[in-house]
């Protein structure tokens, strides 16, 4: 099999997104959730760059990726700040303790 750069990048995208989703599926710790989201977003960013390169519009892909970086930083900051507050209020980082829906 010919290991060209797009194939390697695509494998990395699938790997990152897969790891991130797996992490989200199994964890209930808020900090880990934020980390998992970061991993997924990094994979998505790579995918954007790859798509830009393959369509010959690298600048577009890069600018999209930059936009994602900004959004993703905000997610991380807010998520971690929430985690700090949740820990102070509830004394636990378990997401299931947060849920107030009737089960």
Partner 1 sequence: MADELILLSIGLPWLGALLVWLLGDRKAKFQHGIAVLFAVASAVTACLLLPNVGTSTVVSFPMETTFGEFNFVADGLGVFLAVIATVVGSLAVIFSVDYMKGAAQLGRYYAMVLFFIGAMVGLVLTSNILLMFVFWEITALCSYALISFYNDDPKAVSGGMKALIITQFGGLGLMLGALVLFAYTGSFDINVFLANPSVLPSNILGVMAFGFLIAAAAKSAQFPFQTWLPDAMEAPSPISALIHAATMVNAGVYLLARFFPAFEGVPGWRISVMVVGMLSALMAAVMALVATDLKRVLAYSTVSQLGYMVYAVGAGGVFASQFHLMSHSIFKALLFLAAGAVIHSVGTRDMRQMGGLGKKLPFVRIVFVIGALALAGIPIFNGFWSKELILEVGMHGNPIWLYVIMLIVAGLTALYTFRCVWLVFYGEERSELHVHPVGIFSKIALAPLAIGAVTTWLLAGPFSNLLAESLPTHSIHELSLMEMIREVIGTPATYIALAVVTLGLMTWVVREQISGVVKNLRFLETAAVQSFGFEAINRGIVAGVQKIAEGLRGSQTGLLNWNVFGIVAGLILVLAALLIGA
Using CB under 8 A as the criterion, which residues of the chain lie in contact with partner 1 when the complex forms?
21, 24-28, 33, 95-96, 99-103
Nearest Cα to Cα of residue 80 among 31, 41, 32:
31
Smaller CB separation from partner 1, 88 or 103: 103
Nearer to partner 1 among residue 25 and residue 70 (C-beta): 25
Q: What distance lies between CA 85 and its chain's CA centroid?
A: 22
Cβ atoms < 10 Å from Cβ of 24: 15
- Long-range contacts made by residues 86-89, C-beta under 8 angstroms, separation at least 24? 86/30
Shortest Cβ distance from residue 62 to partner 1 (Å)? 25
Of 33 and 75, which has the nearer Cβ to partner 1? 33
Q: Taking the complex as a whole, how short is the minimal distance between the CB of residue 63 and partner 1, in angstroms?
A: 23
């Amino acid at each position: 099999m010919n290991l060209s750069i797009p194939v390697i990048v695509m494998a990395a995208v699938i790997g990152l997104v897969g790891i991130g989703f797996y992490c989200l599926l199994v964890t209930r710790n808020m900090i880990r959730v934020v980390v998992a989201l970061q991993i997924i977003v990094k994979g998505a960013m790579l995918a954007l760059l790859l798509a830009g390169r393959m369509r010959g519009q690298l600048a577009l892909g890069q600018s999209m990726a930059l936009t994602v970086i900004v959004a993703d930083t905000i997610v991380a900051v807010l998520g971690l700040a929430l985690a700090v507050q949740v820990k102070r209020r509830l004394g636990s980082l378990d997401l299931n303790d947060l849920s107030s829906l009737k089960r």
